[in-house]
Structure 1
């Protein structure tokens, strides 16, 4: 394992670059994000370990980060003051663009993998907004009506995105639909607040959700009213989940119980095993405080991932060695 200490700043999100296998971004906040500054780290994996290539300080906490899919050096961060800032790794000090339309904390960002000129944000103000990084204002606002913890574009679609929120619902939207909402599906996925979601990279209609009730649930939008698989084992709320880009059935989860867990939903098991056969494959327990972020490396050997948490640590580790025998 490799590690990096974000001294004085508690990690909230970590993301691998879609262009460089050695570059990782970490969004972090002082004082656990309750008050104070934020810091965006741009980290490099080197033969000598993880080193900070650059960092940018912000006046408020940072809760999420996403790399641009169209510019290898640009990345956006979600801030506690309601702003979204776009930084360029080749420049110093200041963001190259800033938007201030959300009225509460911005908690999630998602860059579109197909239409690489747009990204989405979600906020505690109950709104999802669509942005072009060159435009001074948002392109569209979708009102959710309750605190929206996560927004995510469907990986193979230029127009479909989903949002999960404090009311326990997952909503799916198609931007081709007319105003105001473009909602095409709405499913109650939890009795409590839903904090995180991720689309499966191989099965376009499959999405996983998780939150304060500690369970990870896998849904197929072809049958949106029925949970396909429920993965139970975390002791506290699940803060972040991420489907593998290498294995269609494997999902990572980061939890307030200080662990990162590796699961299979059972869809790839031999013998035709299907929904309901998910199980735990392994646990990474190096974090000593709430684990808030996790992401997969797209490159190299299958199974490398990064995680971050409130213990001021970023870990890079081999998920394959954690999974053991499948």
Structure 2
């Protein structure tokens, strides 16, 4: 049974300089860490007084007005919420500020160098975690000014607390309830508001990091695709052990003289496509910008066997089309099957038991727009999501992927810029996250369109919008923290949990 549609929640609003009661804007707090990595605290006090000094308490009216902006009857300027899919382009110098009510948790991080890519590292703290404060591990690659200045950074973020948003009860006080007193004390003990802690170690990495992926079965094994044309494998177990020894005291920073335990330089050019198999441990596939796909398998004596196996520059491609493989995904259920997203509008499905040729090949974009990214649903193995250079997000049923007239199960076209990332929720088969240059978005495909949704500029399945960063590149769900996401953009990282999940 599908869910009824509800209004999308946006985590950003346009900054205003003319409020009757100016919001408090504390300076960003900086953790004492090296390499200019720092946490930002974007919390803004949202409660305002009216001209008589009384607190506004009509939440519904204020919420409705905030989506349109303007001046209310009391002469107070209403802050306008902003959606990158429907809002006007920001003017030069115009900034967004975060709406804390849209998030259960939100933390921002500014690195020295921007990053195109990151991946979460699994830990031993348990699955489906919901209790604050949270802690996570991630591997991050840089895009520095010179090849020799790049790094692979392993970082631990801890004491990630819930956002504390003042409510009417916080301001006026609520009616005394003796039965509630004990439970409030227990809640306050469980969820203490703490300052976030970041620990990190950096490993020298020649060349910018185009893509990072950690092995799902052994997250200490991290693969990087370098813009210098090499694929490197690192074992970061010793760094993860240092984090455990520090016990979250924030004392772990610095550089580690670690070298990759395996490097491969036989791709003819750089690439971005790379994925580990979740079914067959240690098996990987990589693809480059010339359309060559190489299969990786571990050797019993150590190291890897890497075999150039497929070329996507086939006869069905236009003569002037770029053969680049943009993304690769292994099947979540079959050890020998993977899919590719390619320039020219193609998606192909390969079986390693059938060399040199794709099992299925379909041009999903008749316009020839590149397919930038794809994600295979880990809970429903026949569903594949794709994102295109034309801003088109599509969901496909691979059981009906053969034939001349293949149609998607769902297609969403409100995005104004290329799709840069897409990923299915790890535990909810109907939910996925995606990003474009302007923001990160959460779709719930189980939502049914109703009469109230007709004529809307955004699809009813759009559940949440996160914006405020510059040029989003990747978004990932944390595999162990419920509904926690992280994004990387030109301006930095964000870690958050939406309030409506």
Q: TM-score range by the shorter chain?
A: 0.7 to 0.9
Match of 2:288 in 1: 123
Separation in structure 2 between the aligned mates of residue 216 and residue 26 of structure 1, nearest angstrom: 26
Separation in structure 2 between the aligned mates of residue 18 and residue 318 of structure 1, nearest angstrom: 18
- 1:112–1:227 CA distance, 2 compared to 1 (3 A): same
Q: Is the 8 Å Cα contact of residues 78 and 85 (structure 1) preserved in structure 2? A: yes
Long gaps (5+) in structure 2: 1-105, 126-135, 160-194, 240-256, 314-322, 451-458
Alignment partner of 2:384 out of 186, 192, 207: 207
Q: Indicate the structure with greater strand content.
A: 1
Is residue 2:433 matched to residue 1:252? Answer: yes
Q: Which moved more, 1:72-81 or 1:128-137?
A: 128-137
Separation in structure 2 between the aligned mates of residue 45 and residue 83 of structure 1, nearest angstrom: 29
Is residue 2:423 matched to residue 1:242? Answer: yes
Match of 1:23 in 2: 137
Match of 1:3 in 2: 108
Q: Is the 8 Å Cα contact of residues 12 and 64 (structure 1) preserved in structure 2? A: yes
- 1:49–1:122 CA distance, 2 compared to 1 (3 A): farther
Shift of 1:111: 0.6
SS of 2:216's equivalent in the other structure is coil
Number of equivalenced pairs: 307
Q: Map Cα deviations across residues 122-156 of structure 1 (whole Å, 9 max, x no partner).
A: 11021111113544541342111210110110112
Is residue 2:342 matched to residue 1:165? Answer: yes
TM-score if structure 1 supplies the norm length? Answer: 0.87
Where in structure 2 are the equivalents of 1:296-315 lying within 5 Å? 296-300=477-481, 302-311=482-491, 313-315=492-494
Separation in structure 2 between the aligned mates of residue 236 and residue 167 of structure 1, nearest angstrom: 17
Match of 1:284 in 2: 466
Shift of 1:36: 6.8
- 1:158–1:93 CA distance, 2 compared to 1 (3 A): same
Q: Indicate the structure with greater helix content.
A: 2
Q: Is the 8 Å Cα contact of residues 2 and 50 (structure 1) preserved in structure 2? A: no
Match of 1:233 in 2: 414
Where in structure 2 are the equivalents of 1:1-326 lying within 5 Å? 1-7=106-112, 9-20=113-124, 22-31=136-145, 37-47=149-159, 48-49=195-196, 51-89=198-236, 90=238, 92-133=257-298, 134-145=302-313, 146-177=323-354, 179-181=355-357, 183-190=358-365, 191=367, 192-224=369-401, 225-257=406-438, 259-266=439-446, 279-287=461-469, 289-300=470-481, 302-311=482-491, 313-319=492-498, 321=499, 324=500
Shift of 1:108: 2.0
Shift of 1:120: 1.0
Q: Is the 8 Å Cα contact of residues 292 and 312 (structure 2) preserved in structure 1? A: yes
SS of 1:222's equivalent in the other structure is helix
Larger Rg: 2
Separation in structure 2 between the aligned mates of residue 228 and residue 262 of structure 1, nearest angstrom: 17
CA RMSD after TM alignment: 2.2
Q: Is the 8 Å Cα contact of residues 84 and 98 (structure 1) preserved in structure 2? A: yes
Q: Is the 8 Å Cα contact of residues 292 and 308 (structure 2) preserved in structure 1? A: no
- 1:107–1:37 CA distance, 2 compared to 1 (3 A): farther
- 1:35–1:216 CA distance, 2 compared to 1 (3 A): farther
